[in-house]
Amino acid sequence: MAKKKAPETGAKRVNNPNVMGLRPEVLEQPITETLELNYMPYAMSVIVSRAIPEIDGFKPSHRKLLYTMYQMKLLGGARTKSANVVGQTMKLNPHGDAAIYDTMVRLSRGYGALLHPLVDSKGNFGKVYSRDMAWAASRYTEVRLDPICAELFKDIDQDAVDFVDNYDGKMKEPALLPTTFPNVLVSANQGIAVGMASNLCGFNLGEVCDATIAYLKNPKTDLLSILKAPDFPTGGQLLYDESALRQIYQTGRGSVQVRAKWRYLKSENLIEIVEIPYSTTLEAIMDKVSELIKTGKIKEIADMRDETDLNGLKITIDLKRGTDPDKLMARLFKSTPLQDAYSCNFNILIQGMPRVMGVGEILEEWTAWRLDGVRRRSYFAMKKKEEKYHLLQGLKKILLDIDRAIRIIRETEEDAEVVPNLMIGFGIDQAQAEFVADIKLRNINKEYILRRTQETDTLAEEIADLKDLVDSPQRLKKVIISELQAVKKKYAVPRRTEILYDFVEPSAVVVEDEVPDYPVHVFLSREGYFKKITPQSLRMASEQKYKEGDGPYLQWEGSNRDELLVFTDKQQCYKTRLSDFGDTKASVLGEFLPTRLGMDSGENVVWACITSDYSGHVFFFFENGKVARVELAAYKTQTRRKRLTGAYSDKSPLAAALLLQEDEELALFSSEGRCLIFHTASLTPKTTRTTLGVQVMTLKPKYHLEKVSPLAGTTIVNVARYRAKSLPAAGMLLREEDRGEEQLSLL
């Protein structure tokens, strides 16, 4: 086999034998070259030809589908099977029928994803607010273009936009659709490309038209005063935040908060949710509420069911007796997708280049593009009238001597010589002569010719008016404004999403009163079994039950509202609330914390504490004699995370830990039998959880820090003997009288 010459790019040729005995040639290619030659063209194709919408508000898939339906005479005509449209669209869109039908579904009235649907549908097209409701196959449903599509194709046959070849070069399709209103701001659109994305929310058509008209009259208009806020097809209530909206209007990025619309039926003691945020589904909401009910975080709900029917969405929540519906909904807004954020990313293709733009920039680009479209349309109409005027001018010359024209035609022997002879006889050009020659015999009379030539005066005026229009940007703007006013009058509908100017943030709702507040006694065994017992139950039976080989480790007195922090031998901290545990009795083993908290395999509890306000300091004592003082507030998080990694240093095993609200003296005991007493005020607090600490007790090789105890809890008599004058210190060997029967340990 002849070998090819290696390319000059530095690629290497490698011959690998295969099972057939052949030695195919394999070329190694640098990764940078692969990205440039293979990946970058793909990325650009996805950005430019698939995922990012253009200034008309459409992606290529939308545009190809709608134009195909327009060509099929489905604007104002009868519906046809969706499968027919899908098949015809494949002439322009070289993707599978499933992808094309999915595009049709999203544009349909039945699905409800757009404020102004573009496809008038019949049959089951699913619902945008449902995750599980599947739409019927294309052979069962029927479609046609919605009447508003007349505004998308109004000037398409008047050279208002460019036409390009389809993928196989056999057909022409519009590069953009000549929309008479800023559809890019009306129709919601979302797309994920390579390295970038686009997420356009919809606005109310009437407000968009008013804002565009105001912008055309004065580009410095405050758009927020006219274009109030986004409008979503699923309704809901938008929480008005002027600063957030101004950021979106100026930069094209930001988010708005939308919550569900609900009503309380006092007679039946139930809540009906009738509108939900556009960014979620009713199944996601019900799943989250069910999870809260199962975990005991929501106890006021007796039953919940989906009652969605032909009248629209409805989620019904039956309440338990005595439940405050406002407080319950405030908690649900905070903990479920009943209140959700819609993120905006106004990324649009402008002349093939993706740009993230604010609303003002989008209107600037749209008006410039629309001005060009109206100018092209007017120029096209002017040229048509000029052609007609030119032909009538030739006919006017014939009027002077009709008999002569007839004689020239009759005396011409060959058909091909008729036009040249008329051109010579009357001094007209070929187009005029062709027009005269094609006049029917019955129309060769003065009345017909006089009537036609009288049109020249009107045509001349119209041509002059169109020429002035083409050359006058101000007149072009007036045409656009009149079209916008007509669109608003014909198609505008009231807002679907209500704007809430005065509202209470869910995070501002005090939820502590929802958790019962009563005193509890908390016990933790050495092996990690946890019990929460009320004082009444403890008085009835105080003897604790433990597994064989297990025993008491830590115990506290606190409130049911306190939080529990559990530290493990994997330097992790698990956080939970005491209210998440049920009240129990001393006669039971309790709950096994590693299982309850979802700890990793082989992970064990080494220490724990409870807190109500994260005050105080945690002291970590390591076997190498170092002590780390960390503010307990370092473990407080705004998002109520259940697990924190890097809870303390992993440079040495943990010997003990203490939570102290005030500084005091502590006694440290080593495995050598030495004791050291020091005051915690000598240690500086750290906010970093993984701090290595400072050396407090110096240890000889093979010895380690073994026990820690508050000085008041020891049997030490000769306190001065063991008190350190400076740190670090080795401590002193314990005397017999200071040993006591048993030293206290936290391990």
Catalytic positions: 140
Number of other CB atoms surrounding residue 287 within 10 Å: 13
Three-state SS annotation for 11-31: CCEEECCCCCCCCCEEECCCH
**CA 685 to each of CA 114, 619, 636, 692: distance values in angstroms, whole numbers, following the listed order:** 57, 9, 16, 12
* DSSP character string of 622-658: ETTSEEEEEEGGGG--TT--SEEE--S--SS-EEEEE
* Structure token pair of residue 292: 């809260």
Beta carbons of 316 and 269 less than 8 angstroms apart: no
Angle at 660 between CA 656 and CA 666, to 5 degrees: 60
631: left (phi over 0), alpha (psi -120 to 50) or beta: beta
Query: In the structure encoding, which two tokens stand for residue 469, read together?
Result: 């229009």
For residue 584, which amino acid is it? T
Answer left, alpha or beta for residue 84, where phi above 0 means left and psi between -120 and 50 means alpha. Answer: alpha
Write out the two tokens for 542.
């105080």
Spatial separation of the C-alpha atoms in residues 382 and 388, rounded to whole Å: 10
Q: Is 165 exposed, middle or buried (0-12, 13-18, 19+ CB in 10 A)?
A: exposed
User: 67, 173 in Cβ contact below 8 A?
Assistant: yes
Coil, strand, or helix at residue 717? coil
Question: In this structure, what token pair is assigned to residue 389?
Answer: 């005027």
DSSP 682: G
CA distance to 369, 377, 381, per residue, from 723 (Å) = 85, 97, 103
CB 374 within 8 A of CB 476: yes
The amino acid that residue 526 corresponds to is R
Q: Taking a C-beta distance cutoff of 8 angstroms, is the pair 237, 500 a contact?
A: yes
On the CB side of 674, CA atoms within 13 Å amount to 17
| Cβ atoms within 10 Å, residue 583 | 15
Residue 262 phi/psi, 5-degree rounding, is -140, 165
What is the C-alpha to C-alpha distance for residues 333 and 337, in angstroms, rounded to an integer?
Answer: 7
686 vs 617: CA distance, rounded Å: 9
Return the structure tokens found at 209.
């038209």
Cβ atoms 567, 645 nearer than 8 A: no
CA–CA distances in Å: residue 392 to residues 150, 421, 449, 454:
33, 19, 9, 9
Question: What are phi and psi for residue 50, nearest 5 degrees?
Answer: -145, -55
Phi, psi at 599, each rounded to 5°: -70, 160
Q: Give 347's contacts (C-beta < 8 A, 6+ positions apart).
A: 52, 196, 197, 198, 199, 252, 354, 355, 356
What is the side-by-side strand order in the sheet with 519-525? 552-559, 519-525, 529-533, 591-592
Q: Are 632 and 610 in contact (CB under 8 A)?
A: no
Residue with tokens 């092209």: 376
C-alpha Rg value of the chain to the nearest Å: 41
Contacts of 469 (CB under 8 A, 6+ apart): 378, 475, 476, 479
Name residue 189's beta-bridge partners: 200
Please, are residues 487 and 207 in contact by the beta-carbon 8 Å criterion?
Answer: no
Other beta carbons within 10 Å of 389? 17
